[in-house]
Amino acid sequence: MTKFSKYQLIFYSILFLSVELFAQHLTLNEAIEISLSRNEKIKMYQAKLSQKEYDNLSAWGNFLPVIDIEARYTHLNKDLQIDLNPIRDAMINIQAGNQVELTNISNVLQGLSPLTDAQRLQVFGTAYSSYDGLLPQFVETFKKQDYKTSTLTAIQPLFLGGKLLAAKKYASAELRAAENELTKIKNEVASEVISSYMQVLVLQKIVSTRNDVLNGMLQHKINADKLYDQGIIPKYHLLRAEVAVAEAERNLSTDKNNLELAQIVFANLLGSDNYKDIYLSDSLLFKHSSDPIEMFLSKAESNQPILKILQEKRNSAAQNYNVAVSSFLPQVAAFGKYDMYPEYLSSLEPRWAVGLQAKFNLFNGIKDYHNLQKAKELENEVDYLSADTKRKIDLWINKSYRDMSNNSTEFLKLDANIELAKENYRTNESRFNSGLSTSLEVIDAQLSYEKIKIDRLLTLYKYYNALNDLYLASGSLTEFLNIWNQ
């Protein structure tokens, strides 16, 4: 081996290994797992579920006290004061007047003349000045022009008519509904992957069948050429063979395009743009399901996510009704207050305070009553929706079950037809080569054989599609995979 050929061998070996490494050989289970991990719609509902989880945790906070701290700086246009000087003036006037009368009485008792008006005025002025110097000003500043406040307050709900408990139960019901919505979306995505996977398998088989038919038509045309050259058959049979080849090429081209489109759709479900490197490992084989329809109806009642979602919506509506009822009951809470800057408090303001507060609405325009009736009608709406949905799911299961049964029966009956068509094609081809049959008979026999093979494949695809739809309707899609993986 030359040096150049050794390098070629190494290069092609590396290229082959690279292709093998990057190519994906997927079973149906693997395809579903990849799609569930990459699907944007599933991620969207996972984010929605996370929101409901936080809502549920937030609902617990309603039972705990609310504690706030508030800080404020205030500048007033002037100090806040209490001015009692008029009382002070009245007291001084009374005392000065009393002093005048006492001085007058003292003079009379001593045999002196009573005080004249001028003397009275003089004594009053002296006494007034004396008392005015002794008594302080009756002006109290209880709030300075600039002051700060920082207050710590706490409120603990004690009884709100059942509103807190209803809010918690509502949040829990919404969380469970979100979980079931996520399950529903996952089932739908998995069902879509199953349908797409089987469609690719069926179209691959159909393309293979079209290839076989085209090869058969080409061989028939070669045989017709030989027989025509020998003068055994007329030119019409040769032309008919050429038309059959063209028709087979057209059918093959159409189904190749259909297959490529199906592969693109399948790759898109997997979150991939390169559909050419995805290969399906499973085979499309018939696997019978013998479960009775009653089993699917029973499973739907306990497993169907749609019914579970509606049940949780019914619970949410019931809690909404309880919230409406709480509006007719009193609300009781404990409260506390503590001031962080006592030096700025006036003598009229306490540093801390605790207490209870109760509130009961007497009249608000009958809005509470109307809200209560509205909540009751919401419960009725959900009940009617649940009953209607249950009937539609039962109908869905009945239709899918009958489609599955019909396609199962048709597929099994086509087994005998396909053997007969194959033998008929072999016999007519042999007779044509012996000059005992026409080209039209051979072509019709081969087309009949092709049609039965394709019908059988399509019937198998319809069977699995109906079975897939049946398990989706019953909410037990994983059991479809149990049948597929048998």
Spatial distance between the Cα atoms of 8 and 414, rounded to a whole number of angstroms: 51
- What 3-state class would DSSP assign to 115? coil
The string of pLDDT tens digits covering residues 365-386 is 889 899 999 999 999 999 999 9
Whole-prediction pTM: 0.78
Bridge partners of 25? 279
Mean pLDDT lowest among 250-259, 271-280, 379-388, 458-467:
271-280
- What 3-state class would DSSP assign to 142? strand
- What 3-state class would DSSP assign to 436? coil
- What 3-state class would DSSP assign to 18? helix
Tell me the residue ranges of DSSP E strands in 262-360.
Answer: 278-280, 331-339, 352-359
The string of pLDDT tens digits covering residues 214-264 is 888 788 778 778 777 777 667 777 788 788 889 889 999 999 999 999 999
**Among candidate residues 335, 388, 389, the one with its CA nearest the CA of residue 358:** 335
Q: Order of strands, edge to edge, in the sheet holding 66-75?
A: 66-75, 146-159, 331-339, 352-359
Report the 3 state secondary structure along 461-479.
HHHHHHHHHHHHHHCCCHH
Which CATH number is 22-67+161-340+366-484's, of 1.10.150.120, 1.20.1600.10, 1.50.10.20, 1.10.240.10?
A: 1.20.1600.10
Label the pairing between strands 66-75 and 80-83: unpaired
Spatial distance between the Cα atoms of 70 and 254, rounded to a whole number of angstroms: 76
Burial of 163 (0-12, 13-18, 19+ CB in 10 A): buried
Q: How many CB atoms lie within 10 A of CB 360?
A: 10
The string of pLDDT tens digits covering residues 424-455 is 777 877 776 766 666 677 777 778 888 888 89
Cα torsion 236, 241, 242, 247: sign = positive
Q: 233 with 448: CB under 8 angstroms?
A: no
